[in-house]
Copies of this chain bind each other. A is one copy, B any other.
Amino acid sequence: MEIVTESSISHPEKLWGHVRRRCSLFKDKMIKFGKGMVKIGKDDPRKVFHSLKVGLSLTLVSLLYYARPLYDGFGAAGMWAVLTVVVLSEFTVGGTLCKGLNRGFATLSAGALGLGAQQLAALFGDQGEPIVLGILVFLLASTSTFMRFFPRIKARYDYGVMIFILTFALVSVSGYRVDELLTLAQQRLTTIIIGVATCMVVSIFICPVWAGEDLHNLVASNIEKLGCYLEGFPVEYFQSPGDGENDVAGKAKPCLQGYKSVLTSKSTEETLANLARWEPRHGQFKLKHPWNQYLKTAALARHCAYQIEALNGYIHSGFKAPKEFQNKTKEICTRMSEESGMALRLLATSMKSMTDPSPAVVHVESSKSAMKELKLVLKSVSVNQADFLAMIPTATVASILVETVKAVEKLTESVHELASLASFKSLKTATVSPEKQAPQLLHRGSIKPVLDGVDRDHVVITVLECPAETEKPQPVNGEGVKRSEVNISCKQILSADSFFSRCRTRV
């Protein structure tokens, strides 16, 4: 920052140069600001539409206020319509409805209470009236303000409580006679209703932005970002400089940054969930959509993101373990990470399309079986004392991946519960959790990876066909049990239907 000194003022050329530099600085700032604005608009065009919608509602209401006949009817109360529109114009429908309903109920109840307070105070005569009114206003304002600290009230009725205090204070001390007050109240209510109605109609019927849909998409995209990371992690971690895999790693990099936003998305999710509760049925979202389950799912996704954050600390630590250990762990860790990633991606896809999330279960099982294999491999690995130190980073990565797989499993269960509560499409059975569901199936079996070391994309699915009444799986070739096997590529199983139909055909 340059400072205009006396010497610079005494030299007009210097001063001129200073002014020019300032102007160009200002110009640069404005250009940057403009570019930022264009970026915001491009990233989310709904924000542009929202701005136009606010302009429209305000113009409509302002002109109503401006038009003489209406103005004469409403008097100065017309300004309440303008005020209401400006205050209620929130980005989401939920925000507008929350504020609108809060404002409506608070105005009505506080108005009635204020009127009562005025009547009560009048009983105390001219001298006592202001004292009683003062005490009443003080008590109500203090109590209501304190109630705003209660988390549940703060989340849902904060605005209502504020309007309640405001209206009560205005009405109780207005000093109007009751008949005057009733006219005024009627005028004010009518204009407020006009304002609220304008806002709601514009908000709901012109390019609506639903908080519920935003929450749904946010949770799904968060899960997708985690999946993206887990799919990209092995490429980045296990590459060696001479591998020629640098190009692939280069492409994977933006994918490895996305998860960071999941770490701090809690407050956004909570705000959206609170607003979503006010929204009417829209699209596939019912009036009592299980918004709490979204918060639970989001918390589990965040827990998964914490594991990934720990994993990310090792991504550039280099893979310098002894050759034998490298070969054995690389394949299994890659499988654990990729299968978990694929499961998360399928969960995100199924959430976005609101369809059965079962296809993800195959990948969860696959990553779990890789987890079990890892134990066997670690048992069998020959440890040279000198290598122990070099093995630790990879062992740590494997260990964190195991925790990640567990976190992904919990997340999968939560999405299944969500799918069941929100009745996602083509959910053939009410799946609460893949674990709990298993005993109710007619076909039981196991999923194991193909262990030829090359074809890590394939799994062997062994299906045991048991009688429906059998509670526990029978021993292989037990009475009344048929055993069938299918070797199937995980990547091909992209939808539940194809998966189930393949099983049916082969069995």
**Which residues of A pack against B, CB within 8 Å?**
33, 36-37, 40-41, 47-48, 50-52, 54-56, 58-59, 62-63, 65-68, 71, 76, 79, 82-83, 86-87, 89, 130, 133-134, 137-143, 145-147, 149-150, 162, 165-166, 169-170, 172-173, 175, 263-264, 266-267, 302-303, 306-307, 309-310, 313, 375, 378-379, 381-383, 385-386, 388-389, 392-393, 395-396, 398-400, 403
Contact = CB atoms under 8 A, between A and B. Distances in A.
Contact of A145 (B33, B50, B395): B50
B400 A389 contact: no
A48 B146 contact: yes
B383 A388 contact: yes
Contacts of A143: 51
Nearest to A91: B149
A271 to B, nearest CB: 9
A40 B170 contact: no
A57 B182 CA distance: 27
Nearest to A153: B33
**Oligomeric state, in copies:** 2
A145 B378 contact: no
A497 to B, nearest CB: 37
Given A86-B166, A130-B66, A399-B396, A138 B56 contact: yes
Contact of A173 (B66, B138, B313, B395): B66
A383 B149 CA distance: 58
A142 B58 CA distance: 9
A138 B79 CA distance: 17
B400 A310 contact: yes
A436 to B, nearest CB: 24
Contact of A264 (B33, B145, B149, B264): B264
A370 to B, nearest CB: 16
A56 B162 CA distance: 15
Contacts of A40: 146, 149-150
A58 B76 CA distance: 24
Contacts of A56: 138
Given A58-B141, A62-B133, A388-B378, A170 B393 contact: no
12 contacts: A37-B150, A40-B149, A51-B149, A55-B145, A58-B138, A59-B137, A62-B137, A66-B175, A79-B170, A264-B264, A307-B313, A383-B383
- The 5 lowest CB-CB distance pairs between A and B, nearest first, are A55-B142, A310-B310, A51-B146, A267-B267, A396-B399
A39 to B, nearest CB: 10
A348 to B, nearest CB: 22
B378 A389 contact: yes
Contacts of A399: 392-393, 395-396
A198 to B, nearest CB: 13
Contacts of A398: 392
Contact of A134 (B63, B79, B379): B63
A41 B150 CA distance: 10
Nearest to A82: B169
B395 A392 contact: yes
B37 A165 contact: no
Contacts of A68: 175
Nearest to A147: B37
Nearest to A305: B306
Given A58-B165, A68-B175, A392-B395, 5 more contacts: A51-B143, A59-B141, A67-B130, A79-B170, A396-B400
B138 A59 contact: yes
Given A47-B149, A310-B400, A385-B382, A165 B264 contact: no
Given A133-B62, A137-B58, A170-B82, A52 B388 contact: no
A378 B400 contact: no
Contacts of A146: 37, 40-41, 47-48, 51
A234 B232 CA distance: 34
